[in-house]
Amino acid sequence: MQIIRNVHPMDGLKSKLRQILNVIPRGSNIYYLDYPVHSNGGDLLIMKGTEAFFKDYDIRVRARYSVLDFPETLIIPKDHIIVLHGGGNFGDLYPAHQKLREKVITRYPHHRIVMLPQTIFYKSESEFDRTAQIFNGHRDVHLYVRDTLSLKMATEKFNKCGVYLMPDMAHQLWPIQSKSAPGKDLLCFFRTDIEKTGEQEQLERYGRGDYLDWTSLYNRLEKKSINAIVRMMKKGNGPLPMQAIWGKYTDYLVDKAIKRFSGYRHVQTSRLHGHILSCLMDKPNTLLDNSYGKNSNYYHTWTSGIQTAQLAANNEEQQVDSNASQIS
């Protein structure tokens, strides 16, 4: 008699990340670039998942640079792979990070360059074409994308590059244990930035649950600490080991997010990593879309099979009321 094992979908997503070893082999020497130095907890989760991936597969990080301290002149050994942080800032919404990618590709034509899973979005087609021209001029660029829409765009534009579909690097953190039993019903972890939607504003008018975002998760002292680290990294060459200090401090910041999420039975979120963190904790959650479809594309590509997760229907009050009644 054949025994069928029940494999959690999150196990499958974590296992999928192993395919990155086809491009960054186990034991590789790498430079890790564009890691986040700011208060967006989603990027910090990606960074922690990325660092866990490096550790789990004996990938040796020989140097790390953020967009704040990447030097104008940097000699990288030819046998080292350049690895750029993943996330949702590929395109023309966040130009500082995109400019760094393009600078690296132009400056290091003989290195393998790998961009970890990204979502692609361009407002300007001409900007997209300009990026494609830079990428296609390199002989060894590999781009991982997080959803099928990004895959379609990247495959069409970057015809000289390796393009692959891959989940977000935060999935390497699975499973994350809750810090406590939940004492409250609903956490509304909602965006407050340029990717906020009208559907979210409609939900906010109902006034149910506790409202939070990455910007309000951290208190005044924590924000001051983050800003101080940013200033010191911009200056560079100081007496303090700022990369190590930031690494330890982000452990604390991520742990704080886990503790807050642990306190609720259900999470409703328009933050992709509010959704991913909930899934990593196996916590019931409802995902709202962002302004350009990043969240829904990710859900349909990777997380629709997770029983504790669902995608909110746009402009349907009946669905909103139904979701609320399940956790009231």
Enter the tokens of residue 92: 């023309």
Mind listing the pLDDT tens digit for each residue in 136-185? 999 999 999 999 999 999 999 999 999 999 999 999 999 999 999 999 99
Question: What integer pLDDT is reported at residue 204 of this predicted model?
Answer: 84
**Neighbouring C-alpha atoms within 13 Å toward the C-beta of 49:** 30
Distance, CA of 141 to CA of 111 (rounded, Å): 9
- Please report, for the chain, the start and end positions of each structural domain, with discontinuous segments joined by +: 9-172, 173-327
Q: Which of 194, 244, 273 is nearest to 35 (CA)?
A: 244
- Per-residue model confidence as pLDDT tens digits over 143-157: 999 999 999 999 999
Cα–Cα distance between 262 and 280 in angstroms, integer?
A: 11
CB 276 within 8 Å of CB 173: no
pLDDT digits (tens, 9 = 90+) for 114-130: 999 999 999 999 999 99
CA distance 209 to 268: 9
- Helix/strand/coil for 313: coil
Q: 44-99 pLDDT, tens per residue?
A: 999 999 999 999 999 999 999 999 999 989 999 999 999 999 998 999 988 999 99
CA atoms of 178 and 188, how far apart (whole Å)? 18
Alpha helix positions (H), 57-197? 95-107, 125-136, 148-157
Inform me whether the pLDDT recorded for 316 exceeds 60.
Answer: no
Q: How many CA atoms lie within 13 A of 261 on its CB side?
A: 29
* Nearest alpha-carbon partner for 31 in 68, 64, 69, 71: 64
DSSP states of 67-94:
TTT--SS----TTSEEEE--EEEEESSS
Angstrom CA distances, 167 to 193, 203, 309, stand at: 24, 28, 16
Q: Are 188 and 209 in contact (CB under 8 A)?
A: yes
Please name the fold of domain 9-172.
Answer: Rossmann fold (3.40.50)
